[in-house]
Structure 1
Amino acid sequence: MNILLLGEYSRLHNSLKEGLEAMGMTVTIAGFGDDFKNYPVDVLFKNSFNTGVPLFIKKILYKLSGIDLTSLSTEAQFNKHKNKLINYDVVQLINENTFNTVPRTEMRLLNYIFNNNDNVFLLTCGTDYISVNYAFEDKFQYSIFTPHAQQKVSKQNYWHVLKWRTASYAKLHDYIFKYVKGVIASDLDYHLPMLGHKLYLGLIPNPINSNKLKYISPNPVNKIVIFHGINEQSYYKKGNDLFNEALKIVKLKYASKIKIIEARSLPYSEYIESYNSAHILLDQVYAYDQGYNALEAMAKGKVVFTGAEQEWLDYYNIQEDTIAINALPDAKKIAEKLEWLILNPEKILEIAQNAREFIEREHHHITIAKQYLKTWKSYSLES
C-alpha cells in the first residue's frame, strides 16, 4: 500500500510512518516539519514568514490588501511538488488546515488532493472547527479557551484558535467534510467532540515508537529533578504560567530537595534529550488526555503532569495518579501533587514503570499502525 501523510504535528506522522514501514508499507510525509521543532519530512514545505521582519511585513500586507504571503509561498511550493502528491492508496490530512494557508487557498490545494487521490482521511488532533466550537460552548470543564476567557491572551495572539469561529474557516471545514472518507481522533480531547458525528471513525491513540525512546529508571537519591519545557508560542495555552506559579510554591518549601530545569522552544532533537536527567516533567494543563510530548516522556520513564482527567481514566480503566498526574488549572493543586511526590519519592519509580508499560500496551507505533490500516481499508472499500 502506498500512503501519503500530509502535514506533521508533534511527530505523530513520523511515528505512524515508522509503524507502517515496519509492516512493508510505502509511506511519504509532506509538510512543514512543525516549524521550529523541525521534524523530518520527505517533501518539505518552508514557511519563511513566521518570525521577525518577514512576519511583520506579512501582517502589514495582509491588513492593507488581504494578501497572505504564507499562502502565496505555500501554493507556489505545492505546485512545484504536486506531482509527488497524487495516486496514493490512502492520504491522511494532519488536521483541517494542513497547509496553514487562508481558507480559499487551502481549498484550492485540497481540491487537487481530492481529485487525484481516491481515499482521503482526516485526523482531528489539533485545533479545528468541531473541537474549538465544542470547547467554546463550555462542554469541557476547562479547555484551550480558558486562558482566553481569563484574558491572559489577546485575541490577536489566540488567532490560531479563534479563527475556527469565523465564517471562512467554517466553510473550509464544510468543504473538507464533504470529501473525506472519515475522521479519526488522536485522543480524548478530540474524541469527545466528535462522538455521534456520521463521519467519525473512532479514536486511534497517538503512535509512539518506544523502540527509539530508552527507558531511564528514575533514581531520586539526592535531589528530585523537575523539567519544565516551554513553547513560547503557546505559553498560556499550555498552562506554563500555572506551572511556574506551582514551582515557586514548592521551591520556597523544598529548595534543598529539588532541582528545576527550564527549556524554551527547542527543536525536537534537542528537546527529547534535554529532560533525560529529570524525574518529573511538566507538560500541559488544559487537556483531558496526553499529547505527544507527554507520551514520549512517559515512555522514557518520567512522571508527567498533563491531561489525565476522569474520562481518560475511565476510557483506559486505570486508577488516578498511577500512570500520569492530572494537571488541573490551579497552581496550588499542582504544587500539592509535586509536594506529594517530593515527600514520597518511591512513587516516582512506581509511576514511571507504569507509564512505560502503558505506552507499550496502548500506544506502540506498530500496534497503532495496524489500527490505522484496518480503519483505512474498511472505509476505503465502502466506496
Structure 2
Amino acid sequence: MKVLLLGEYSRLHNTLKEGLTALGHEVVLVGDGDGFKNFPVDISIRPTWGDKSILKWVKLGLYKVFKLDILALERGLRFWIKMPALNGFDVVQLINEKPIKTLPAFERFLLKKIFKNNQKTLLLSCGIDVISVEFMLQKKFKYSLMNPFFENPKLAKEYQYILDYTSASHRKTHDFVFSNIEGVIASDFDYVLPLEGHSKFLGLIPNPVNCDEIPFAPLTIQQKTIIFLGINRGTYHKKGIPLFEEALVQLQKKYSEKIEIRIAENIPYAEYLQQYNDAHIILDQVYSYDQGYNALEAMAKGKVVFTGAEEEFTTYYKLEKDTVCINALPEVSKLVEKLSWLIENPAQLTAIGKNARAFIEREHNYIEIAKKYEKVYCN
C-alpha cells in the first residue's frame, strides 16, 4: 500500500511511518518541519524566504499593510512544485484540516488536487481544528487551553491562531475537507470528546510511540530531584506555563536543598530531548485531558510527567489515578501539592516511571498502532 502522510506537528506521522514501513507499506511524509522543532520529512515545503535579512522586513511590511503572510504563500508554492510526486497514493492522511498551512484559498486549491489524484483521504484530529475550537469556545470542557483567554481577553494576540478557526475562510476549508474525506481519527481524548456523534468520526487511535528508539532508565534519586520545564513561547499560556512557573517558585523556597529546576525555551526537538534526559519530573501541560506526543515520549523514557490524565483517560485504559503520569490540574496549589508528594516520597517516582514505560509499551506500541491504521485504511 502506498501512503502519503501530509503534515507533521509532533512526531506522530514520523512514528506512524516507521510502523507502516515495518509492516511493508511504502510511505512518504511531506511537511515543513514545524518551525524551530525541525521534525524530519521526506519532502520539505519549509519556507526559507523569511530567513534572509532583507526579506524579513518585506515579510513584516506585507503582513502589516496587506495581512499577507508570504511564508504561508511560500509553503503553498513549494507544495505546488512538489505536486507531481504526490499523486497515485492508495491513502492520503492529513495531520490537520489545513495541513499545508498556506493561504486559505490556495490551501483548498492544492487539497482539491490531492483529493482528485489519490484514492482515499483520511483526516487526523490531533490539534486545533474547527470542531475542537467550537467545543472549547462553547465551554463544553470543564477546562481547556482557552481558559487563560476567557480569564484575560488581552491575550487575544497569543490566541489569534486559534480564533482564526472561527473565520469564514477556515470554515469554508473545514467544510471542503470534510466533504472529501473518508473519515476522521482522533489521537487522544482532547479530540475524541468534540467529535463524539459526528457522522465521519472513526474513533480513537492512540499516538504511536517507538520504544525501540527510546531507552528506558529507572529513576534513582542520588542527591536532588531534577524537575524540567520546556517552554514554547507560542503556547506559553495555552500549556499553562505560568502556573508551572509559580509552582516552581514555591517549591524552590520549600525544597531548595532537595530539588534542581531546569528550564529550556524554544529549542529544536532533538535538543529538547537531550536536555531532559537525566530529569526525574517533566512539566508538560495543565489544560489537557490526555497526553500529547512530548508527554508520551517522556513517559516512554520512564519520566514522571505532569500532563493530562483526566477521568475519561483513566476509565478508558482502566488505570488508577496518577499511576502512569500525574494529572496536572490548572491550580497552583494542586501542582505544588503533587510535586511536594513526589519530592518527599522518591520511591513513588521510581514506581510511576516504571508504570509509565509499561503503559506506553502496552497501549502505544508503534507497530500495533500502525496495524490499527492499516485496518482503517483497508476498510
TM over 0.5: yes
Q: For 1:321-367, what per-residue CA distance to the aligned partner results, in whole angstroms no more than 9, with x for missing partners? A: 10110111111110100000011110000000000000000001101
Q: For 1:242-280, what per-residue CA distance to the aligned partner results, in whole angstroms no more than 9, with x for missing partners? A: 100001111111110001111111111111111111010
SS in 1 for 2:179: helix
Q: For 1:138-194, what per-residue CA distance to the aligned partner results, in whole angstroms no more than 9, with x for missing partners? A: 100111111111227632221111111111111110010000010000000001100
Residue type matched to 1:103 in 2? Answer: P
Corresponding position of 1:288: 289
> Following TM superposition, by how much is the alpha carbon of 1:80 offset from its aligned partner in structure 2, in angstroms?
1.4
SS in 2 for 1:236: coil
Corresponding position of 2:211: 210
Structure 2 Cα separation of the partners of residues 266 and 53 of structure 1: 25
Contact 2:186/2:205, CA 8 A, preserved across alignment: yes
Corresponding position of 2:239: 238
> Following TM superposition, by how much is the alpha carbon of 1:33 offset from its aligned partner in structure 2, in angstroms?
1.3
> Following TM superposition, by how much is the alpha carbon of 1:71 offset from its aligned partner in structure 2, in angstroms?
3.2
Residue type matched to 2:21 in 1? Answer: E
Structure 2 Cα separation of the partners of residues 11 and 117 of structure 1: 24
Corresponding position of 1:75: 76
Where does 1:26-105 land on structure 2 (aligned, <5 Å)? 26-48=26-48, 57-105=58-106
Structure 2 Cα separation of the partners of residues 278 and 304 of structure 1: 10
Structure 1 Cα separation of the partners of residues 50 and 144 of structure 2: 26
Where does 1:1-383 land on structure 2 (aligned, <5 Å)? 1-48=1-48, 57-151=58-152, 154-378=155-379
Comparing 298-307 and 51-60, the one that deviates more: 51-60
Aligned-residue CA RMSD (Å): 1.5
Residue type matched to 1:290 in 2? Answer: Q
Contact 2:79/2:100, CA 8 A, preserved across alignment: no
Q: For 1:97-120, what per-residue CA distance to the aligned partner results, in whole angstroms no more than 9, with x for missing partners? A: 211122211101101101101201
Residue type matched to 1:42 in 2? Answer: D
CA 1:355 to 1:133, structure 2 compared with 1: closer, same or farther past 3 Å? same
Contact 2:74/2:102, CA 8 A, preserved across alignment: no
SS in 1 for 2:46: coil
CA 1:146 to 1:373, structure 2 compared with 1: closer, same or farther past 3 Å? same
CA 1:174 to 1:350, structure 2 compared with 1: closer, same or farther past 3 Å? same
CA 1:124 to 1:277, structure 2 compared with 1: closer, same or farther past 3 Å? same
Corresponding position of 1:381: none
Residue type matched to 2:326 in 1? Answer: I
Structure 2 Cα separation of the partners of residues 355 and 56 of structure 1: 47
Percent identity for Structure 1 against Structure 2? 49
Structure 2 Cα separation of the partners of residues 366 and 377 of structure 1: 16
Contact 2:314/2:321, CA 8 A, preserved across alignment: yes
Contact 1:225/1:279, CA 8 A, preserved across alignment: yes
TM-score by length of 1: 0.96
TM-score by length of 2: 0.97
> Following TM superposition, by how much is the alpha carbon of 1:55 offset from its aligned partner in structure 2, in angstroms?
5.8
CA 1:249 to 1:209, structure 2 compared with 1: closer, same or farther past 3 Å? same
Contact 1:153/1:236, CA 8 A, preserved across alignment: no
Structure 2 Cα separation of the partners of residues 70 and 14 of structure 1: 23
SS in 2 for 1:352: helix
Contact 1:152/1:236, CA 8 A, preserved across alignment: no
Gaps of 5+ in 2: none
Gaps of 5+ in 1: 379-383
Structure 2 Cα separation of the partners of residues 152 and 252 of structure 1: 32
